[in-house]
Amino acid sequence: MYELHFAVPMAGAVLCTFNTRHDAAMISVLLSHSGAKVFFVESRLLDVGRAALRCLADATSAHSLPVLLTISDDGADSGYSGCVDYEDLVKDAPSQFDIRWPVDELDPITLNYTSGTTSQPKGVVFSHRGAYLNTIATVLAYDITTMLTYLWTVPMFHCNGWNLPWGVAMQGGTNICLRHFTAKVIFDSIARYGVTHMGGAPSVLNMIANAPAADRKVLPGPVRVMTGGAPPSPRVLLAVEELGFVASHMYGLTETLGPATVCTWMPEWDELPPEERAWLKSRQGFHHIAMQDVAVKNTSTMESVPYDGQTVGEVIFRSNTVMSGYYKDIGATKESMAGGWLHTGDLADRAKDIIISGGENISSIELESVIFSHPAVLEAAVVARPDEYWGETPCAFVKLKDGANATEAEIISFCR
């Protein structure tokens, strides 16, 4: 996927990344909505990818399906006919080619999907200009030096890896990509490769902070960590700082292509007690250099709310570097961009029916619909429950039908 962040735009196409946790039905919906012409699938996900194409064929009258290209880490054959191997394609391609430059800086470069209040996927369109400026802003806000070594724990499908496929290349860095990671793998990778930077949701920081002593290693130097997706716990921030990790808290959403504000460190904080420094780090901060403005307003009056720590308002952004709009959804675009501001839906808590777990969005409505489909369930409501590891986890309240008998374990098993 790292290579595709460069190859696809250079071919004059739009990159559309999917969450690897999606099932075949959801992937088929996104393939249909995006109008994808080429479908890159890693070999370990090929069964899901082929099932998605079958769903797409059954649900549409399309005369042609996307071309399926398979990617294998070990170069092994996929075992399926009708697939094009990515490495074979690259090997046989001419070494000289013409880059298809965008006609306009506002031409789209990426299409990323995010959940909304109705749980219908929305395709967020981002321009070359927006991606370019947000990448520079992320590099500056994150203090990404030249010749860095970056450890990937942030999925590249999530807001294009917070712009860092481009940002690391911009600074001549080395990428350390992990298929799966644990605290031990993180510590081992840092020690082996001399990692200088990494990113991750607060759940990753919590994993590091609570790693068994046997899994830890003395860091070769400070490791800068960009964290976001949910507010990090001051306790966890303090714990990772004691281990040698320098955390920066950032806030953003798919519609801002990831980080939009950063809790910028102030020199006067250096003299504060560690506990107070950790609390300050957990705050949201200020908008980065490429974001024109951020405000907390009463969206009924569009008046800024008092800075009193009590009055609730909605976080809104204004800039020509936010999303171009929602693909094929003019109504949702107008609503989200009302008054020239990007309305996030984030109040004192997130206003939309979304649970943020491990940095990823989970639709409570989608979970409710699955639980409702259990034959014994009469009513169900899903809310977010605070979790020390994941940040938030879904919590379901279920009412059974009269005479029905289903245990908690049975309903959980049904959902899986």
| 122 pLDDT higher than 50 | yes
Q: Is residue 76's pLDDT more than 60? A: no
User: Residue 81: what pLDDT?
Assistant: 61
Percent of the chain with pLDDT over 70: 94
Residues 89 and 123 occupy one common structural domain: no
Q: Provide the pLDDT for residue 278.
A: 87
DSSP code of residue 289: T
Find, among 284, 202, 264, the residue nearest to 239 by Cα: 202
In a domain, 249, yes or no: yes
For residues 135 and 106, membership in a common domain is answered with yes
Do residues 234 and 123 both lie within one domain?
A: yes
**Tokens coding 88:** 């074979």
Whether residue 146 lies inside any domain: the answer is: yes
> Does the residue 3 lie in any domain?
no
Given a cut of 50, whether residue 98 has pLDDT beyond it is yes
Do 124 and 255 lie in one domain? The reply is yes
- Verify that 403 and 325 share a domain, yes or no: no
184 and 198 housed in the same domain: yes
147 CB-near residues (< 8 Å, 6+ apart): 171, 172, 173, 174
In angstroms, the CA 112 to CA 30 distance is 10
Q: Domain end: 101, 124, 141, which one?
A: 101
User: Which pLDDT belongs to residue 353?
Assistant: 60
- CATH code at position 34: 3.40.50.980
Domain harbouring 389, CATH code: 3.30.300.30
- The highest-confidence range among 67-81, 281-295, 367-381, by mean pLDDT, is 281-295
List, edge to edge, every strand of the sheet that includes 245-253.
Answer: 174-177, 149-152, 197-200, 223-227, 245-253, 258-262, 286-287
Q: What's the total number of domains in the chain?
A: 3
User: Which of 85, 101, 117 corresponds to the end of one domain?
Assistant: 101
Q: Is there a single domain that holds both residue 76 and residue 165?
A: no
pLDDT at 63: 61
Predicted local confidence at residue 75, as pLDDT: 58
Q: What is the pLDDT of residue 82?
A: 67
Sign of CA dihedral 193, 196, 198, 204: positive
CA distance 17 to 338: 27
pLDDT at position 307, please? 81
User: Please, which pLDDT band fits residue 232 given cuts at 50, 70 and 90?
Assistant: confident
| Mean pLDDT confidence for 113-138 | 86
- Looking at residue 349, its pLDDT comes to 46
**345 and 367 housed in the same domain:** no
Q: 78 is in which domain, residue-wise?
A: 10-101
Q: pTM value?
A: 0.82
Does 187 have pLDDT greater than 50?
A: yes
> Average pLDDT for residues 276-298, to the nearest whole number?
87
Domain contains 315: yes
Band (pLDDT 50/70/90 cuts) for residue 121 is: confident
SS3 at position 269 = helix
Q: Give the lowest-confidence range in 12-21, 151-160, 370-379.
A: 370-379
Q: Classify 200 in phi/psi space as left (phi over 0), alpha (psi -120 to 50) or beta.
A: left
Q: What's the CA angle centered on 230, arms 127 and 190, to 5 degrees?
A: 85
Phi and psi angles of residue 88, each rounded to the nearest 5 degrees, phi first:
-65, -40
Is a pLDDT exceeding 80 seen at residue 350?
no
**What's the CATH code of the domain at 318?**
3.40.50.12780
373 has pLDDT over 80: no
Average pLDDT of every residue of the chain: 89
pLDDT per position as a tens digit, 141-166: 888 989 999 999 999 999 999 999 99
| Together in a domain, 281 and 367 | no
124-138, 167-181, 289-303: the lowest-pLDDT one: 289-303
pLDDT band at residue 117 using 50, 70 and 90 as cut-offs: very low
Whether 4 is covered by a domain: the verdict is: no
Asked if 107 contacts 93 with a C-beta cutoff of 8 angstroms, the reply is no
* Judgement on whether residues 373 and 391 belong to the same structural domain of the protein: yes
The last residue of one of the domains, among 101, 122, 137, is 101
pLDDT at 118 over 70: no
Q: What is the DSSP letter of 228?
A: -
Which pLDDT value is given to residue 77?
58
What confidence tens digit (pLDDT) does each residue in 199-231 have? 998 889 988 988 999 999 999 999 999 998 877
**Is 2 part of a structural domain of the chain?**
no
**121 plus 42 within the same structural domain:** no
Confidence category of residue 352, pLDDT binned at 50, 70, 90:
low
Confidence of residue 284 (pLDDT cuts 50, 70, 90): confident
Residue 266 forms part of a structural domain? yes
Tell me: do 358 and 340 sit in the same domain. Answer: no
Judge whether 5 lies within some domain.
Answer: no
